[in-house]
Structure 1
Amino acid sequence: MTQNNDVQNKTCGSSNSLTCSRSAFHTVLCSMTRSAELPQRVSHDGITLLTEAQTNCGKIHNEYQDIYQQNREASRMRCEEVLRDVFDKMEKSISDGSYLKKRGGYQKYRDTLAQLTSDYRSEDVLSKYLRAKEEIGNIILQADQYLNAAEREKEDQGSDSVSYLSLKAQSSARPSTEDTKVFTPELVHRGDEDKHNNTYRFVCPHAGQFQCSLTSLVFVMEGKGEVLYRVVSWDPCLLDLLGQMKPAGPLYNIDCSAKSVSRLLFPHCVIYSEEKKDSLAVAHFTGGNVEIMPPLKVTETHVMVDIRDLSSFVLVWIRNTFSSQIDGQVLLFLRTITHEHKEKILNVHLLPGNVPVSEVQLKHHNKTYIETTSQCYLFPDREYSLHCQQEKCVVQPKSQLFKLNFGPNYHPTFEVFLDVSVEEVGLSILDKPKKGNEVWHRQRILLTAPSKGVEPSAQTRIPETEFVNTHGDKLIKRALSGMAIADSLKSKNMITREMWNKIHAAETPQEKMRHLLDTLESGGDNAKVEFCKVLKENEPYLVNELGPHL
């Protein structure tokens, strides 16, 4: 036994011994002493015993490490199960957006997290869990700071709330603007055919990423070059052949002679989420064919595509319905007042947020653009109404379905008739299915303030528009081709079927022409140009007499 103790002391005390605990090695020796062969081996050679003890100790150490690792993994899994149970209430509140609906959600989230943390402690498992929740906390803090009074009111009333997943997607998908340079394009006209449309010109000085201040288009350039682009008319029915698709933006024709455009980013009006971003694509029209281009990236505001050649592009929604809430805008135009009128007429347009204001202004350049904060959130195919706070005013129609209108004509959604002396009004857009909840409200809108928008100069005034505006009374008395003009306008989607029906139902040519001219006021310049074209074909002598310059 003394010899055994000496061996044990040498083994555990030697600097060359295995790194194991004394208790584990003692267990090995005790096991060996119970063996009948141990005394014989020790008596012949103490080194033999030492070698065998070292071997057995290594095996024990390896088995111990395996069992320890298994226990650690099982413990971790069990800890995660307990964590899920303990923090289940908070997880549900995160998922349903409870912390995002009201101001102060961040403080409530932090208090709940602190309380649950004090109830549970588990070393690195809890630390990892808390690190993940710290990211969520930052997102909730961002939402808490971002929510304005109108959004908080909307969410308090039970309207569609912003979800945690949506905000997380927005925070990760928001494009970096550090390297994007904003430019204001030159507006050019390249001939008579183009005089009724905006053509935007950008001369790129070098490679980089550039965003248009009027259309929000972004060009990724490989080098310098002139870029010409414009919104063009088209038939959305061309998408019917491709299945469940609808336009999600205007159709842009883009050209760059230097071929230095490598990527395009198109602005969208979709309220961003991971689910919705997969429903956006770009349709490329070239050579009579349509190519659907999957996006390289979808951000909170834009859809990016890689391009090989330029022609016409339109953003598309790859679904047969477009029923999700979108980012919209409310635009106001005041009709020109003459000595014959005793009232002001304010046109109110509900439009998708990615329709360029400059395009709507061009179509209604003979009216005054009233600049105000315009952003709102709208549901396509939902009924909205307009409320005017001014006494003795008339609003028509009383309600209207909101339709996605990406041009080329931008008819007003509502008309407000006011006394000529009224200088300011308050307006609200109401969501009828939501019991009249306000989706847009402005307490004061000045009708006398000068517009800061793009106003045409005298050189860019359209003769056909001047002709219709000047000779309306004479056209009502003398023109006989009102129905032929209405047919042409309807075939080119410049007036709606309801407008056409009203003209068709009129009994006399004078009534038809009066209704037609009223319709032209909402149809913009393109409708008036088409009016003059058909009128000249059918009644050339009348046109030559009233407007020989046409």
Structure 2
Amino acid sequence: MIEKAAAEEDSGYLKKQEKSITNSDSEVRLNPDSLDTQLDLSKDDTELIKPPSSFTPEVQTESTQISYRFRCPGPGVFLCTLTRLVFVMAQEAEVLYRTVQWDESLLQPAGKTAAGPLFNITCSEDAVRQLHLPHCETKEVVHVDGLLSVAHISDNGMTVLEPLEITATHVVVKVPHLSAFGLIWDVFKRFLNMEEPVNGQVLLFFQPLETGPRRINVFLLQENIPLSEVSAQQGHVAEYIQTPADCLFSFGQRYSVHCDPESRIQPEQTQFHLKFGPNYHPTFQVFLTTNPEIVTLMVKDQEGTETWKSSVYLPGQRPVTCLLSIFVPSAPRTETLMRSVPAEARVPAAERLLTVRSQFIERVSEPVLNKLLDKLLQQRVINDQEMESVRSQQSRADKARDVMDTVRRKGREARLLLIAALCEEDRCLSTELNLNEDRLGKSL
């Protein structure tokens, strides 16, 4: 069953105009320059009108399927750092969410197509007031009336929710009841704006091979695809390479990847397609025919115009001490810190850190966390914004969870530096977690 429902607020029906959404009592304007939204809430709910507080959810991976858990401390607006979902909460609650596969048989008869991942969300009744779903549109397209809406899919079928507001980054809807929510495009209106690009991202994963050439898996994706979902597909086979990812992609445009030094790349060229999971396959594979420490990758469109370029340091090509000289050329304690990591520990540490994650969260003290943050910032493993995100967490456990998950996503060298810093700052805890310098090599 497919029915179209306009979102309703307490003050009445919100009718969307060309650049605003209005009713007789209030006006909610499209804001293309910020995430902030005007929420149509009662006077008792004015405490919810705050800038979003960011959080890193607990993550559980089964095979390649990720599920997220967020323990909301109370009323407020909360931004998930992994999926960029924003939850407007009315009360303390636990929110569980994961991505699920779209059913095209529901979308096509309504003249709609997916414009983002489909999230299945569960929580206690009436705890979630609104959802902000991230979109990938540019400023030129975000104002097109009726282009974007939200599909609410339940056992009764699909309902189309009209936005309360569309910002430069998110589409805001009221939550009638929880089930599956996802952004959708009006097919005809998107076709009329086909020449306008979408905000995209280039994701790189390095895969060392025991025999034959090493390779880099290159993904060309929309901006609103979570990195965590793509990483789960890669598993332990390939390691994410952090690099500037932002670019623009156009529907129907063909793209190619180029590498310096010259390498073998397949395919030579391919058309940009929307991908919303659950499976994510590389758009390109770069087979390295030499053994470089650094490569320069470029993405070009079919006219030969460069749309993205980045120099990439390949994991595992140099000793960790060499990387430290790049991160912090003048750090006075680099040598002392690295003595905590033995030579045999130069192996991927992801599995070990994941194994002790819950114990680390439960047992690390706040003073030690503060020292770890200082060291990670000093060595440029984290940036100022990430440090402030951790410090803004209300509880010690949330800070510990944020530190662990942020570093784990940054690659092998970052994980080794966290282990080394913990060995130096809390010898007892690192020993009990089998992360001390005597056991580290064996336990990993």
TM superposition score category, shorter chain reference: 0.5 to 0.7
With over 3 angstroms needed to count, the CA separation of the structure-2 counterparts of 1:233 and 1:457, relative to structure 1, is: farther
Paired residue for 1:415? Answer: 285
CA distance in 1, matches of 2:30, 2:95: 32
> Of 100, 120, 123, which residue of structure 2 is paired with 1:253?
120
Paired residue for 1:390? Answer: 261
Paired residue for 2:200? Answer: 328
SS at match of 1:241: helix
Q: Which amino acid aligns with 1:208?
A: G
Q: Which amino acid aligns with 1:248?
A: A
> Of 282, 299, 310, which residue of structure 2 is paired with 1:429?
299
SS at match of 1:361: helix
> Of 237, 250, 266, which residue of structure 2 is paired with 1:379?
250
With over 3 angstroms needed to count, the CA separation of the structure-2 counterparts of 1:332 and 1:222, relative to structure 1, is: same
Shift of 1:456: 5.8
Matches within 5 A, 1:492-531: none
Residue pair 2:69, 2:96 contacting (<8 A) in 1 also = yes
> Of 351, 355, 358, which residue of structure 2 is paired with 1:457?
351
Paired residue for 1:353? Answer: 223
SS at match of 2:232: helix
Matches within 5 A, 1:215-294: 215-243=83-111, 245-273=112-140, 275-276=143-144, 278-294=146-162
Shift of 1:224: 0.4
With over 3 angstroms needed to count, the CA separation of the structure-2 counterparts of 1:170 and 1:226, relative to structure 1, is: closer
Name whichever structure is richer in helix by fraction: 1
For residues 422-444 of structure 1, give each alpha carbon's deviation from its aligned partner in whole angstroms, at most 9, with x where no partner exists: 22110111111xx21111011x2
Residue pair 1:326, 1:378 contacting (<8 A) in 2 also = yes
Paired residue for 2:70? Answer: 202
CA distance in 1, matches of 2:77, 2:143: 27
Shift of 1:226: 0.1
SS at match of 1:441: strand
Residue pair 2:202, 2:220 contacting (<8 A) in 1 also = yes
Paired residue for 1:535? Answer: none
For residues 222-270 of structure 1, give each alpha carbon's deviation from its aligned partner in whole angstroms, at most 9, with x where no partner exists: 0100000001123334201212x11000110001025300100000001
For residues 475-498 of structure 1, give each alpha carbon's deviation from its aligned partner in whole angstroms, at most 9, with x where no partner exists: xxxxxxxxxxxxxxxxxxxxxxxx
For this pair of structures, how many residues does the alignment match?
281
Residue pair 2:36, 2:51 contacting (<8 A) in 1 also = no
State yes or no: 1:182 paired with 2:54. yes
SS at match of 1:198: strand
Shift of 1:275: 3.3
With over 3 angstroms needed to count, the CA separation of the structure-2 counterparts of 1:232 and 1:203, relative to structure 1, is: same
CA distance in 1, matches of 2:306, 2:58: 38
With over 3 angstroms needed to count, the CA separation of the structure-2 counterparts of 1:455 and 1:302, relative to structure 1, is: farther
CA distance in 2, matches of 1:456, 1:306: 39
- Compare 170-179 and 352-361 and name the one that shifted more: 170-179
With over 3 angstroms needed to count, the CA separation of the structure-2 counterparts of 1:172 and 1:259, relative to structure 1, is: same
Matches within 5 A, 1:69-88: none
Q: Which amino acid aligns with 1:415?
A: Q
CA distance in 2, matches of 1:303, 1:283: 12
- Compare 230-239 and 360-369 and name the one that shifted more: 230-239
Shift of 1:460: 8.0
Structure 2, gaps ≥5 residues long: 1-28, 38-48, 324-347, 356-444
SS at match of 2:279: coil
With over 3 angstroms needed to count, the CA separation of the structure-2 counterparts of 1:268 and 1:172, relative to structure 1, is: closer
With over 3 angstroms needed to count, the CA separation of the structure-2 counterparts of 1:222 and 1:445, relative to structure 1, is: same
Shift of 1:195: 4.3
Name whichever structure is richer in strand by fraction: 2
For residues 346-369 of structure 1, give each alpha carbon's deviation from its aligned partner in whole angstroms, at most 9, with x where no partner exists: 111000000000000000112111
Higher Rg? 1
With over 3 angstroms needed to count, the CA separation of the structure-2 counterparts of 1:455 and 1:361, relative to structure 1, is: farther
With over 3 angstroms needed to count, the CA separation of the structure-2 counterparts of 1:336 and 1:460, relative to structure 1, is: farther
For residues 442-479 of structure 1, give each alpha carbon's deviation from its aligned partner in whole angstroms, at most 9, with x where no partner exists: 1x20112699xx99636989xxxxxxxxxxxxxxxxxx
CA distance in 2, matches of 1:438, 1:275: 28
Paired residue for 2:373? Answer: none
Structure 1, gaps ≥5 residues long: 1-167, 462-550
CA distance in 1, matches of 2:179, 2:313: 41
SS at match of 1:457: helix
Residue pair 1:269, 1:354 contacting (<8 A) in 2 also = yes
State yes or no: 1:406 paired with 2:276. yes
CA distance in 2, matches of 1:349, 1:380: 15
Shift of 1:186: 0.4
Residue pair 1:326, 1:379 contacting (<8 A) in 2 also = yes
Q: Which amino acid aligns with 1:182?
A: S
Residue pair 2:101, 2:118 contacting (<8 A) in 1 also = yes
Residue pair 2:255, 2:272 contacting (<8 A) in 1 also = yes
Matches within 5 A, 1:298-313: 298-313=166-181
CA distance in 2, matches of 1:232, 1:171: 29
With over 3 angstroms needed to count, the CA separation of the structure-2 counterparts of 1:196 and 1:387, relative to structure 1, is: closer
Paired residue for 2:16? Answer: none
Tell me the TM-score normalized by structure 2. Answer: 0.59
Shift of 1:342: 3.0
With over 3 angstroms needed to count, the CA separation of the structure-2 counterparts of 1:311 and 1:437, relative to structure 1, is: same
Residue pair 1:226, 1:258 contacting (<8 A) in 2 also = no
For residues 123-178 of structure 1, give each alpha carbon's deviation from its aligned partner in whole angstroms, at most 9, with x where no partner exists: xxxxxxxxxxxxxxxxxxxxxxxxxxxxxxxxxxxxxxxxxxxxx97656652695
CA distance in 2, matches of 1:459, 1:448: 18
Q: Which amino acid aligns with 1:327?
A: N
Q: Which amino acid aligns with 2:243?
A: T
Shift of 1:294: 0.3
CA distance in 2, matches of 1:413, 1:187: 26
Residue pair 2:30, 2:165 contacting (<8 A) in 1 also = no
Matches within 5 A, 1:88-167: none
CA distance in 1, matches of 2:30, 2:304: 31
> Of 218, 241, 250, which residue of structure 2 is paired with 1:370?
241
With over 3 angstroms needed to count, the CA separation of the structure-2 counterparts of 1:172 and 1:382, relative to structure 1, is: closer
Residue pair 1:327, 1:352 contacting (<8 A) in 2 also = yes
Instruction: Kindly indicate whether structure 1 or structure 2 has the higher relative contact order, using CA contacts under 8 Å at least 6 residues apart.
Output: 2
